[in-house]
């Protein structure tokens, strides 16, 4: 009997520990938001798809279809027919206004349809990953480090895509400034990619610095993937 009592006591303690751990371990929505934001960089895969044939048609409608789905989901949420809590990861202020993912989706839509590929790829990548970097340093109460780290990453993206150093610095400065803008109906998730994209396009399209050899990198900057013949 004594051994059985000890075994029961051990199992009881183990059950209590397991319940305590289950109550304490919760998935932090903060990290979900960060990961979801960084995943926005995957939109550059759009440029890996061929622009001809069946796949080309799919490529043409894909950004619009994704954005339309996001808008529909957002309208459903804001209608009040489903609790906002069901949308995991929303910031408190987003519960009463359009969410950041819709703003970012709209910026991606404009970039892939209206802007040269080098600008679109640079601004999508830099904003999708640079914003969480800045936010993490600021969350750690390191505002100066947030600017330095965010600027270093964004600048690195522009230079990696072969932007002229002056254009890279200019685009970086605008993106970091845009991250600081806090307007109720104009989210930084839209401004961070769009402000530098619009400015860089205006400068290079004007031809003001063409004599100095300052222009956009070659377009396209990516190579499309090979698709099976039955999809061509």
Mean pLDDT value across residues 206-215: 83
Q: What is the pLDDT of residue 170?
A: 96
**Residues 53, 55, 56, 57, Cα dihedral to 10°:** 90
Q: What is the pLDDT of residue 24?
A: 43
Mean pLDDT value across residues 78-101: 71
Mean pLDDT value across residues 64-71: 93
pLDDT at 68 > cutoff 70: yes
Q: Which of 3-7, 27-31, 116-120 has the largest mean confidence?
A: 116-120
Mean pLDDT value across residues 39-49: 89
Q: What is the pLDDT of residue 104?
A: 92
81-107 exposure pattern, b = at least 16 Cβ within 10 A, e = fewer? eeeeeebebbeeebeeebbbbbbbbbb
- Whether the CB-CB separation of 180 and 197 falls below 8 Å is answered with no
Q: Is the model more confident about 84 or about 114?
A: 114
- Whether the CB-CB separation of 225 and 50 falls below 8 Å is answered with yes
DSSP state of 186: B
Mean pLDDT value across residues 163-191: 90
């Amino acid at each position: 009997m004594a051994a059985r009592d000890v075994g029961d006591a051990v199992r009881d303690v183990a059950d209590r520990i397991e319940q305590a751990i289950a109550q304490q371990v919760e998935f932090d929505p903060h990290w979900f938001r960060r990961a979801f934001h960084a995943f926005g960089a995957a939109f550059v895969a759009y440029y890996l798809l061929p622009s001809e044939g069946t796949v080309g048609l799919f490529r043409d409608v894909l950004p619009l279809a994704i954005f339309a789905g996001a808008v529909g989901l957002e309208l459903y949420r804001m209608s009040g027919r489903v609790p906002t809590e069901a949308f995991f990861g929303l910031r408190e202020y987003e519960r009463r206004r359009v969410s950041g993912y819709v703003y970012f989706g709209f910026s991606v839509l404009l970039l892939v349809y209206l802007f040269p590929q080098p600008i679109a790829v640079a601004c999508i990548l830099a904003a999708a990953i640079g914003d969480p970097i800045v936010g993490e340093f600021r969350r750690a109460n390191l505002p100066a480090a947030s600017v330095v780290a965010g600027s270093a990453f964004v600048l690195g993206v522009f230079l990696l895509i072969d932007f002229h150093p002056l254009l890279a610095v200019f685009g970086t400065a605008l993106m970091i400034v845009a991250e600081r803008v806090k307007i109720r109906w104009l989210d930084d998730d839209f401004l961070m990619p769009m402000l530098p994209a619009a400015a860089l396009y205006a400068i290079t399209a004007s031809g003001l610095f063409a004599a100095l050899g300052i222009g956009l990198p070659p377009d396209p900057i990516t190579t499309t993937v090979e698709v099976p013949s039955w999809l061509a």
